[in-house]
Structure 1
Amino acid sequence: MTVAPEPRLALLGGGFSTDDDGLLDDWVLGHARAARPKVCFVPTASGDAPGYVEKFLDAYRDRACEPSVLHLFRRELDDEGLRALLLTQDVVYVGGGNTANLLAVWRAHGVDRLLREAYAGGTLLCGISAGANCWADGCHTDSFGPLAHLADGLGILPGSVCPHYDGEPGRRGSYRAAVAARALPAGWALDDGVGALFTRGVLTEAVTRSPRARLHRVEPGGGDGVTERALPCRPLVAGGGATAPE
């Protein structure tokens, strides 16, 4: 009897859209349930930007996988076709852009429900920036211009997410303030270059392609209303694998 993989989700602080070394992309593929996985890129948060799509295809067409793209701004699939596409993927990779717009479009097309079903069936869900934000209960986002909190995610990953923790001015202070005020629940803050794997909502692996990048656990409490812990990450190395945690 074949046992379905446990539900897993990966938050990415990099990948093909920002890095040239391919380390985080190889790490993602290494966690797929198939030797030659089907990988669907979902660029909804960028409005299906053609350049973004081409960058994905350029990065993945020569890897040991079967890449595809889900377009929703010029949707070509009916409901049955959309369901068939998403539920047969081994990896769904969500791109960056506007988190609030992403969630609204997904809900209009029923993609949110299909992704929950795919996740329960063992499809690895992952993404960068908005594509990391969307899975949690809430997130830290610039979807509305200034940095703000959005307590309206899919809730597949308990808690909140903050991307670009060390990469954009104001991110760290603003996210910490939101958690301290309980505008967002406790959560995960990703420095650029980090990857974090969750199995059934529990952190099971953290990796980094950058010596200084870390995954941070941020929770309410402490002297200034918030506590923050930098978690050990295994450095990724070219050629596959990783060294010991730092």
Structure 2
Amino acid sequence: MSRRSGHGSRLVLLGGGFSTDDDGLLDDWVLGQVACDRPKVCFVPTASGDAPGYVERFLAAYRSRRCEPGVLSLFRRELDDDGLRFFLLSQDVVYVGGGNTANLLAVWRAHGVDRLLREAYDRGTLLCGISAGANCWAEGSHTDSFGPLTHLADGLGLLPGSVCPHYDSEPGRRASYRAAVAAGALPGGWAVEDGVGVLFTDGLPTDAVSRAPQARLYRVEPDEDGGVRERALPCRLLGAPPPGFTRSGT
């Protein structure tokens, strides 16, 4: 299996998608990052314990799109090691669902999926995910995997720094993440509000979009005074008319 041409190593952090939104804008944007006509899209629901309802929502959303959807189940694993490697490396998109970040990483490592995803990333597979499925790619993350909100200095490390999902929608997220970065418990990183999608190419942000005008992506870093610097990055509004376009009335 050779590297897919035309792109660097890419991953996407999502603040929404089929499991939370009805408009499908973020899902269509993700598929738009893949050049082939019918990309293979593998949903990995490990963080939810392979919850059947979650899997069904994914299949219902992606069967109607220009893609070939599939699911990787690890709690009822059917593939041997060779089959698992072939399956993952044949995907154009690997989409990781939300749930428990710490459990996700532990199960992946037990099955060798962490190593296979690194290989897929290096070969050009687009990796993406929401919530725990966004946390897992970074060096560390902000999580409620252990009950209360806390920091998890663990991850695959494909994305330098840390990630905080649900930055605007869950009480305590913003303050807790900022405190972890200020204290050095987490490296500086990316805070994703619900409704945002951000594409990283070789570890650097190359596109940021939003399905809602108010949703933002933030870069959060420690400052020299023991606090943090928080900088909002511009996001393109999905579904908006292009600049200069005027809707005509009837």
Class of the TM-score when normalised by the shorter of the 2 chains: over 0.9
Structure 1 segment 93-172 matched on structure 2, within 5 A: 93-172=95-174
What is the TM-score with the length of structure 2 in the denominator?
A: 0.94
SS in structure 2 opposite 1:184?
Answer: coil
State whether residues 220 and 227 of structure 1, in contact with CA within 8 Å, keep that contact through their aligned partners in structure 2.
yes
Please state how far the C-alpha of 1:222 moved relative to its aligned partner: 5.2
Question: How far apart in 2 are the matches of 1:180 and 1:56?
Answer: 37
Question: Bigger CA drift: 125-134 or 27-36?
Answer: 27-36
Distance change (3 Å), C-alpha of 1:43 and 1:207: same
Q: Which residue of 2 aligns with 1:49?
A: 51
Question: How far apart in 1 are the matches of 2:229 and 2:37?
Answer: 40
* Aligned-partner residue type, residue 35 of structure 1: D
Structure 1 segment 205-216 matched on structure 2, within 5 A: 205-216=207-218
Q: Which residue of 1 aligns with 2:38?
A: 36
Give unpaired runs (5+ residues) of structure 2.
244-250
Residue 177, structure 1, aligned to residue 179, structure 2: yes
Across the aligned residues of Structure 1 and Structure 2, the Cα RMSD in angstroms comes to 1.5
State whether residues 92 and 123 of structure 1, in contact with CA within 8 Å, keep that contact through their aligned partners in structure 2.
yes
Please state how far the C-alpha of 1:33 moved relative to its aligned partner: 3.6
Please state how far the C-alpha of 1:223 moved relative to its aligned partner: 4.8
Question: How far apart in 2 are the matches of 1:141 and 1:101?
Answer: 11
Q: Which residue of 2 aligns with 1:81?
A: 83
SS in structure 2 opposite 1:139?
Answer: strand
Among candidates 61, 64, 68, match of residue 62 of structure 1: 64
Please state how far the C-alpha of 1:35 moved relative to its aligned partner: 1.9
How many residues align? The count is 241
Distance change (3 Å), C-alpha of 1:101 and 1:129: same
Q: Which residue of 2 aligns with 1:187?
A: 189
SS in structure 2 opposite 1:188?
Answer: strand
State whether residues 96 and 127 of structure 1, in contact with CA within 8 Å, keep that contact through their aligned partners in structure 2.
yes
Please state how far the C-alpha of 1:243 moved relative to its aligned partner: 4.6
State whether residues 12 and 126 of structure 2, in contact with CA within 8 Å, keep that contact through their aligned partners in structure 1.
yes
State whether residues 5 and 124 of structure 2, in contact with CA within 8 Å, keep that contact through their aligned partners in structure 1.
no
Please state how far the C-alpha of 1:6 moved relative to its aligned partner: 1.3
Identity of aligned residues (%): 78
State whether residues 234 and 243 of structure 1, in contact with CA within 8 Å, keep that contact through their aligned partners in structure 2.
no
* Aligned-partner residue type, residue 109 of structure 1: H
Question: How far apart in 2 are the matches of 1:208 and 1:10?
Answer: 13
SS in structure 2 opposite 1:104?
Answer: helix
Q: Which residue of 2 aligns with 1:16?
A: 18
State whether residues 4 and 121 of structure 1, in contact with CA within 8 Å, keep that contact through their aligned partners in structure 2.
no
Question: How far apart in 2 are the matches of 1:198 and 1:55?
Answer: 26
The CA deviation string for residues 4-37 of structure 1, in whole angstroms up to 9 with x for no partner, is 5311000000000000000000000000142210
Q: Show structure 1 runs of 4+ deviating over 3 A.
A: 1-4
Distance change (3 Å), C-alpha of 1:63 and 1:24: same
Q: Which residue of 2 aligns with 1:225?
A: 227
Please state how far the C-alpha of 1:224 moved relative to its aligned partner: 5.6
Question: How far apart in 1 are the matches of 2:184 and 2:242?
Answer: 36
State whether residues 209 and 237 of structure 1, in contact with CA within 8 Å, keep that contact through their aligned partners in structure 2.
yes
Question: How far apart in 2 are the matches of 1:83 and 1:4?
Answer: 23
Question: How far apart in 2 are the matches of 1:147 and 1:243?
Answer: 40
State whether residues 100 and 144 of structure 2, in contact with CA within 8 Å, keep that contact through their aligned partners in structure 1.
yes
State whether residues 5 and 121 of structure 1, in contact with CA within 8 Å, keep that contact through their aligned partners in structure 2.
no
